């Protein structure tokens, strides 16, 4: 009999509490997707090429999964408490009918278990689909073709982990709802529908003052961030604290006072004030502000984190991608670091002798040396290496850049460690002087670079095999585009995964909290909608008012979070620009799309549910 | 005087097949413009069903209701909502004010709903508040006012649109005697000074005694009509009490 009652209650939950199930399903799906990474195409590829980043990614995902699980657990507990509050009356009736508290607890236990099973199944299905999408996204970041690795993949390990984590969360929920029932008194349950919300009249003038103060706080915070730049504003602790507190207080004040500010404005315009149900909608907004402004502030900050993390992790990706090309002008560069001691090695001859056809397999071979600096000869101080001008111009010509000219006695300092001249870098702080002076110096290091013409992976393997015996007498260091690229892809994927994981979690939490709050308010509003209908208000107008209330709750935090993140991204871009170029339009568009889908989904589900509640009032 | 409300042979049947309940069994009634009529009767006599049918909240099974020349039973959906908000005013036992709105806004809202021109709303709200003696309460929320003030606010909301007919369902049901007296006094004044037609359902003889005419319902049928005529209120009250006792006695005979 209990299982039938539980089944019936769950079926009803589908209709009334869609948001609860949506949150559970999204949560399970998210958790599975990011725990099944090891079976996804990109990581399989990285494992195959032996990239050490795979272990780091898996480990970080494990650590962050615990954090995400805690966030989701809090969210689910909050949602469940909300559901129980709505059902007080029903639970009271069960007790009144003579069911013992143990039996009611058991009923709730069964229900939670059922809902848990359903959402686990749906969430895992969603997770498998989502991990296929993730696979496609990450594989698209490889510039070599690995689409053969794209396949639908089910990871039993991740599924097991998801089941265990969420099983624990559901057990916790079951236990807490049992405790809540056994602690509550019958009289409170029966009168659970009555609410003792005290509405205090708050003068609108105060709201106007608070609003202006809030805007001033935000302006100050923005000014600090834009004037000092992101790096300084975060690095200097007192500045950082002042900026963050000004921003938070400003946001808080705006959410607290915006409704009153708008009301004051509208009251001055009778055409707006008395139009349709505007008075009602505005007063509803004001009356809820004091219970919701805290939540809205938190939601706004969570949204800001979600937007910021997702956008910058996607933006960073493009930056890393640009860096690969910059760092690897040649397919391979071999540094002979013991050239000063054992002399230069003729790599071409070594390869030829090993049966490697350099003529057909390699192109653009370059072999040059960096010399020890002798200030007496070169006249350059404070550098430890010297490069001959003709060698530099050969390198520049291969990259399609214009050669440079130096007059006798003149020199040119290379950037940092000589980045971008060979794959890897020169590794020495170097100046360029005329050939005549340079050739008199002692050889310090030899650099041999080349590009592949055929199958890169096979060519590289052959070269490495032939070079290996030389390592006995020479200190060799090999840098190749393939290895740098694999490193980069690893970093790229790590940044992307972490960003998306946290971004999604925050977004989910923010949207779910808002949705639940709105639903609980809509239920309180049913009586008011009934009055409006009796006064002769049209169905369309009542529904419109219900939708407007939900829209205000959802869109205001989003709007303010967008303003915050535009300012934040502008400051952040200045940093990223120093590293490489950012494709911020694309990443912002993708961010906007993701937020639209998740947040919009919640907005839609909530406003539909609220409209339905208004209709049935 | 033209007739505002004409109810002819109204029937309302609940249930299906063998278990029929005849809540209204052929009630006919008519109100002239400017009348103040009370409807009385024991529980289950059909008072509320009658009011629900007249107020277009419920649909009758048979018969016709004509208000201000419009046949209600033929109106549908939007037309019905339009008719309700423009021609009818309601006062309920639980005064049904919106708790998030001030008194002023509660009254103004019903004008907003009928799309009254914005610049006239302020004057009309203040006039009506003045008439009902709640000018001091205009900026208060319902929970800051007494039950009587709330009910007068509800009356102001019902009257401000100048409806053809005001329907009151036990308006004094939740009030103490002093507040009831004040509300009835104002309803009476509205009826006499502004010529508002009022149909009031009540089971309280004292409340009914301020009407010009009282209609008694029993078992879904019209039982008796009393006209106040030139009687003092006290004398009219005595007559009503007599009828109520008779009706109760009649029930006892059946049992």
Domains and CATH numbers, chain B: 3-98+163-254 (3.40.50.300)
d(CA B162, CA B194): 9
d(CA A110, CA B104): 51
Q: Which helix (H) or strand (E) holds B30?
A: strand B21-32
SS3 readout for A182-202: HHCCHHHHHCCCCCCCCCCCC
Asked if A361 reaches chain B (Cβ–Cβ under 8 Å), the answer is no
Q: Which helix (H) or strand (E) holds A445?
A: strand A443-452
- Would residue A354 count as lying in a domain? yes
d(CA B91, CA B172): 10
List the single residue in A199, A277, A286 with the smallest CB-CB distance to B112: A277
What does the pLDDT read at residue A212?
93
Asked if B81 reaches chain A (Cβ–Cβ under 8 Å), the answer is yes
8 A C-beta contact, residue A251 and residue A560: yes
Asked if A534 reaches chain B (Cβ–Cβ under 8 Å), the answer is yes
Q: Which chain A residues are closer than 8 Å to B78 by Cβ? A: 538
Report which of A598, A596, A514 is spatially closest to residue A26, judged by C-alpha positions: A598
Max mean pLDDT among A317-331, A369-383, B197-211 falls in B197-211
Q: Which chain A residues are closer than 8 Å to B121 by Cβ? A: 270, 274
Q: Which residues pair with A430 in a beta bridge?
A: A385
Contact assignment for A274 to B110 by CB distance below 8 Å: no
Contact assignment for B109 to A277 by CB distance below 8 Å: yes
What does the pLDDT read at residue A211?
92
Asked if A550 reaches chain B (Cβ–Cβ under 8 Å), the answer is no
Count Cβ atoms within 10 A of the Cβ of residue A615 and give its class: 0-12 exposed, 13-18 middle, 19 or more buried: middle
With a CB cutoff of 8 Å and minimum separation 6, the contacts of A181 are: A84, A91, A101, A104, A105, A108
Give the mean model confidence (pLDDT) for residues A153-181: 86
Asked if A266 reaches chain B (Cβ–Cβ under 8 Å), the answer is no
For residue A496, give Cα distances in angstroms to A46, A504, B31, B58, B224.
15, 12, 77, 61, 84
Strand duo B36-40 + A430-433: pairing: unpaired
What does the pLDDT read at residue A253?
92
Contact assignment for A536 to B109 by CB distance below 8 Å: no
Q: How confident is the model at residue A121 (pLDDT cuts 50, 70, 90)?
A: very high
8 A C-beta contact, residue A506 and residue A303: yes
In the predicted structure, residue A192 carries a pLDDT above the cut 60: no
Contact assignment for A279 to B96 by CB distance below 8 Å: no
For residue B123, give Cα distances in angstroms to A263, A362, B133.
20, 94, 15
Mean pLDDT of chain B: 84
Distance from CA of B231 to the nearest CA of A (A): 36
d(CA A309, CA A314): 8
Taking each helix axis from N to C terminus, what angle separates A481-534 and A101-139, rounded to the nearest 10 degrees?
140
8 A C-beta contact, residue B114 and residue B85: yes
Eight-state DSSP code of residue A442: P
Q: Which chain A residues are closer than 8 Å to B140 by Cβ? A: 201
Strand duo B198-201 + B36-40: pairing: parallel
In the predicted structure, residue A582 carries a pLDDT above the cut 60: no
8 A C-beta contact, residue A54 and residue A490: yes
For residue B224, give Cα distances in angstroms to A223, A534, B40, B213, B243.
81, 31, 10, 11, 8
Asked if B101 reaches chain A (Cβ–Cβ under 8 Å), the answer is yes
Distance from CA of B252 to the nearest CA of A (A): 35
What does the pLDDT read at residue B224?
85
Q: Which chain B residues are closer than 8 Å to A199 by Cβ? A: 99-100, 141, 143
Report which of B4, B102, B110, B155 is spatially closest to residue A534, judged by C-alpha positions: B110
- Would residue A541 count as lying in a domain? no
In the predicted structure, residue A330 carries a pLDDT above the cut 90: no
Instruction: Count the alpha carbons within 13 Å of B212 in the hemisphere toward its beta carbon.
Output: 17
In the predicted structure, residue A591 carries a pLDDT above the cut 70: no
Tokens for A475, please give them: 């200190």
What does the pLDDT read at residue B207?
87
From A151, A176, A193, give the residue that closes a domain: A193
- Would residue A322 count as lying in a domain? no
Contact assignment for B90 to A534 by CB distance below 8 Å: yes
Among chain B residues, the shortest Cα distance to A272 is held by B118
Give the mean model confidence (pLDDT) for residues B15-28: 81
Q: Indicate if the alpha-carbon torsion angle A334, A340, A341, A344 is positive or negative.
A: positive
Best A196, A274, A285, A286 residue to mutate vs chain B (most B CBs within 10 Å): A274
Q: How confident is the model at residue B140 (pLDDT cuts 50, 70, 90)?
A: confident
- Would residue A80 count as lying in a domain? yes
Distance from CA of A528 to the nearest CA of B (A): 6
Distance from CA of A533 to the nearest CA of B (A): 8
Report which of A153, A8, A12, A16 is spatially closest to residue A523, judged by C-alpha positions: A16
Q: Indicate if the alpha-carbon torsion angle A118, A119, A124, A125 is positive or negative.
A: positive
d(CA A563, CA B184): 57
How many helices (H) and strands (E) chain A has is answered by 22, 7
- Would residue A269 count as lying in a domain? no
d(CA A533, CA A276): 13
Whole-angstrom Cα Rg for chain A = 33
Asked if B100 reaches chain A (Cβ–Cβ under 8 Å), the answer is yes
In the predicted structure, residue A141 carries a pLDDT above the cut 70: no
Q: How confident is the model at residue A617 (pLDDT cuts 50, 70, 90)?
A: low
In total, how many domains does chain A have? 2
Distance from CA of A611 to the nearest CA of B (A): 19
Report which of A493, A362, A416, A524 is spatially closest to residue A44, judged by C-alpha positions: A493
In the predicted structure, residue B251 carries a pLDDT above the cut 70: no
Mean pLDDT of chain A: 80
Strand duo B213-218 + B36-40: pairing: parallel
Q: Which chain A residues are closer than 8 Å to B85 by Cβ? A: 535-537
By residue range, what is the domain housing residue A157?
1-193
Asked if A415 reaches chain B (Cβ–Cβ under 8 Å), the answer is no
The string of pLDDT tens digits covering residues A422-466 is 777 777 888 888 887 778 888 888 888 888 887 777 888 888 888
Report which of B159, B162, B146, B216 is spatially closest to residue B187, judged by C-alpha positions: B159
Asked if B109 reaches chain A (Cβ–Cβ under 8 Å), the answer is yes
What does the pLDDT read at residue A581?
47
Q: Which chain B residues are closer than 8 Å to A204 by Cβ? A: none
Contact assignment for B90 to A275 by CB distance below 8 Å: no
What are the start-end ranges of the H helices in A434-480?
435-438, 456-467
Phi-psi region of A403 (alpha: psi -120 to 50; beta: other; left: phi over 0): beta
What does the pLDDT read at residue A472?
76
Eight-state DSSP code of residue A614: H
d(CA A368, CA A402): 19
Distance from CA of A8 to the nearest CA of B (A): 27
Phi-psi region of A123 (alpha: psi -120 to 50; beta: other; left: phi over 0): alpha
8 A C-beta contact, residue A336 and residue A326: no
List the 236-255 stretch of B: residues with Cβ below 8 A of A.
none
Report which of A90, A85, A34 is spatially closest to residue A60, judged by C-alpha positions: A34
Q: Which chain B residues are closer than 8 Å to A275 by Cβ? A: 112, 118
From A193, A209, A242, give the residue that closes a domain: A193
d(CA B42, CA B249): 12
Q: Which chain A residues are closer than 8 Å to B100 by Cβ? A: 199, 280, 283-284, 286-287, 528
Among chain B residues, the shortest Cα distance to A199 is held by B100
Q: Which chain B residues are closer than 8 Å to A534 by Cβ? A: 57, 90, 96
In the predicted structure, residue A199 carries a pLDDT above the cut 70: no
Q: How many residues does chain B have?
A: 255
Q: What percent of chain B has pLDDT over 70?
A: 96
- Would residue A57 count as lying in a domain? yes
Q: Which chain B residues are closer than 8 Å to A535 by Cβ? A: 85, 90, 109-110, 113, 157
DSSP B188-241: HHIIIII---EEEE-S-HHHHTTSSEEEEEETTEEEEEEE-TT--HHHHHHHHH
Asked if A535 reaches chain B (Cβ–Cβ under 8 Å), the answer is yes
Q: Which chain B residues are closer than 8 Å to A201 by Cβ? A: 140-141, 144
- Would residue A559 count as lying in a domain? no
Report which of A560, A564, A550 is spatially closest to residue A600, judged by C-alpha positions: A550
CA A575 to chain centre: 18
For residue A276, give Cα distances in angstroms to A208, A607, B117.
25, 20, 11
What is the complex's ipTM, to 2 decimals? 0.81
Q: Which chain B residues are closer than 8 Å to A536 by Cβ? A: 81-82, 84-86, 88, 110, 113-114
Report which of B139, B20, B105 is spatially closest to residue A278, judged by C-alpha positions: B105
List the single residue in A275, A280, A536 with the smallest CB-CB distance to B85: A536
* pTM of the shown model: 0.72
Tokens for A110, please give them: 């069964």
Asked if A539 reaches chain B (Cβ–Cβ under 8 Å), the answer is yes
From A430, A454, A474, give the residue that closes a domain: A474
List the single residue in B97, B121, B144 with the smallest CB-CB distance to A274: B121
What does the pLDDT read at residue A315?
67
Distance from CA of A274 to the nearest CA of B (A): 5
With a CB cutoff of 8 Å and minimum separation 6, the contacts of B116 are: A274, B124, B161
Q: How many residues does chain A have?
A: 617
DSSP A368-390: EEEEEP-HHHH---S-SEEEEHH
Distance from CA of A270 to the nearest CA of B (A): 6
What does the pLDDT read at residue A168?
92
- Which phi and psi (to 5°) does residue A199 adopt? -95, 120
Give the mean model confidence (pLDDT) for residues A163-188: 82
Asked if B112 reaches chain A (Cβ–Cβ under 8 Å), the answer is yes
Between A248 and B57, where is the model more confident?
A248
List the 121-150 stretch of B: residues with Cβ below 8 A of A.
121-122, 140-141, 143-144
Contact assignment for B118 to A277 by CB distance below 8 Å: no
Contact assignment for B113 to A199 by CB distance below 8 Å: no
């Amino acid at each position: 009999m209990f299982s039938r009652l539980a089944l019936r209650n769950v079926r009803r939950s589908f209709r009334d509490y869609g948001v609860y199930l949506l949150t559970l399903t999204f949560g399970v799906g998210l958790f599975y997707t990011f725990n099944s990474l090891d079976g996804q195409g990109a990581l399989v590829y990285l494992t195959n090429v032996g990239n050490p980043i795979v272990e780091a990614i898996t480990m970080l995902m494990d650590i962050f999964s615990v954090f995400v699980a805690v966030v989701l657990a809090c969210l689910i507990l909050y949602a469940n408490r909300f559901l129980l509050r709505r059902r007080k009356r029903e639970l009271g009736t069960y007790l009144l009918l003579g069911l013992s508290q143990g039996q009611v607890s058991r009923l709730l236990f069964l229900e939670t278990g059922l809902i848990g099973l359903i959402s686990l199944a749906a969430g895992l299905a969603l997770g498998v689909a989502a991990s296929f999408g993730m696979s496609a996204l990450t594989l698209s970041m490889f510039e070599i073709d690995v689409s053969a690795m794209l396949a639908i993949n089910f990871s039993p390990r991740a599924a097991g982990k998801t089941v265990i984590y969420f099983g624990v969360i559901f057990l916790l929920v079951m236990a807490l709802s049992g405790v809540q029932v056994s602690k509550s008194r019958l009289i409170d349950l029966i009168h659970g529908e009555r609410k003792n919300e005290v509405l205090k009249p708050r003068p609108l003038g105060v709201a106007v003052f608070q609003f202006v103060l809030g805007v001033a706080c935000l302006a100050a915070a923005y000014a600090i961030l834009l004037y000092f730049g992101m790096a300084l504003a975060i690095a200097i602790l007192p500045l950082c604290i002042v900026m963050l507190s000004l921003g938070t207080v400003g946001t808080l004040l705006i959410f607290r006072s915006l409704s009153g500010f708008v009301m004051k404005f509208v009251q001055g315009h009778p055409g707006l004030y008395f139009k349709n149900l505007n008075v009602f909608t505005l007063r509803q907004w004001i009356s809820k502000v004091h219970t919701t402004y805290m939540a809205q502030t938190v939601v706004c900050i969570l949204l800001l984190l979600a937007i910021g993390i997702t956008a910058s992790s996607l933006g960073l990706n493009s930056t890393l991608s640009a860096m690969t090309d910059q760092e690897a002008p040649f397919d391979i560069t071999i540094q002979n670091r013991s050239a000063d001691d054992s002399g230069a090695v003729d790599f071409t001859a070594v390869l030829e002798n090993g049966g490697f056809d350099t003529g057909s397999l390699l192109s653009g071979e370059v072999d040059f040396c960096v010399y020890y600096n002798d200030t007496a000869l070169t006249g350059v101080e404070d550098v430890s290496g010297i490069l001959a001008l003709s060698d530099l111009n050969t390198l520049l010509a291969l990259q399609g850049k214009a050669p440079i000219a130096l007059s006798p006695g003149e020199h040119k300092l290379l950037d940092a460690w000589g980045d971008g001249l060979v794959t890897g870098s020169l590794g020495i702080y170097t100046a360029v002087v005329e050939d005549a002076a340079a050739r008199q110096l002692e050889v310090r290091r030899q650099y041999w670079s080349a590009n592949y013409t055929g199958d890169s992976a096979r060519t590289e393997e052959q070269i490495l095999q032939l070079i290996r015996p030389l390592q006995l007498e020479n200190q060799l260091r090999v840098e190749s585009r393939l290895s740098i690229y694999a490193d980069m892809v690893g970093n790229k994927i790590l940044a992307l995964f972490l960003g998306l994981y946290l971004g999604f979690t925050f977004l989910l939490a923010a949207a779910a909290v808002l949705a639940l709050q709105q639903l609980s308010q809509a239920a309180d509003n049913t009586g008011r909608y009934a009055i409006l209908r009796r006064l002769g208000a049209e169905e369309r107008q009542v529904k419109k008012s219900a939708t407007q209330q939900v829209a205000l709750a959802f869109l205001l935090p989003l709007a303010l979070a967008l303003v915050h993140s535009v300012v934040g991204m502008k400051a952040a871009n200045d940093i990223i620009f120093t590293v490489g170029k950012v494709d911020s339009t694309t990443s912002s568009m993708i961010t906007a799309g993701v937020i639209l889908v998740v947040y919009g989904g919640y907005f839609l589900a909530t406003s539909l549910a609220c409209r339905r509640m208004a209709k049935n009032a | 005087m033209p007739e505002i409300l004409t109810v002819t042979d109204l029937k309302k049947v609940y249930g299906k097949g063998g278990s029929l309940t005849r809540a209204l069994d052929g009630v006919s009634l008519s109100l002239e413009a400017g009348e103040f009529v009370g409807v009385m009767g024991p529980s289950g006599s059909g008072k509320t069903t009658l009011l629900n049918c007249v107020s277009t909240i419920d649909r009758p099974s048979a018969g016709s209701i004509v208000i201000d020349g419009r046949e209600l039973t033929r109106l549908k959906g939007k037309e019905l909502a339009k008719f309700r908000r423009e021609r009818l005013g309601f006062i309920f036992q639980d005064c049904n004010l919106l708790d998030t709105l001030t008194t002023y806004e509660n009254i103004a809202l019903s004008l907003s709903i009928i799309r009254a021109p914005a610049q006239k709303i302020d004057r009309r709200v203040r006039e009506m508040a003045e008439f009902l003696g709640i000018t001091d309460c205009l900026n208060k929320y319902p929970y800051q006012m007494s039950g009587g003030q709330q009910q007068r606010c509800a009356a102001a909301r019902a009257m401000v649109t100048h409806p053809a007919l005001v329907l009151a369902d036990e308006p004094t049901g939740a009030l103490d005697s002093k507040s009831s007296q004040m509300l009835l006094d104002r309803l009476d004044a509205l009826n006499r000074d502004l010529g508002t037609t009022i149909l009031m359902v009540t089971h309280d003889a004292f409340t009914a005694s301020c009407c010009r005419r009282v209609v008694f319902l029993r078992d879904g049928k019209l039982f008796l009509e009393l006209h106040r005529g030139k009687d003092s209120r006290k004398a009219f009250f005595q007559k009503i009490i007599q009828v109520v006792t008779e009706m109760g006695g009649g029930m006892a005979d059946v049992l």
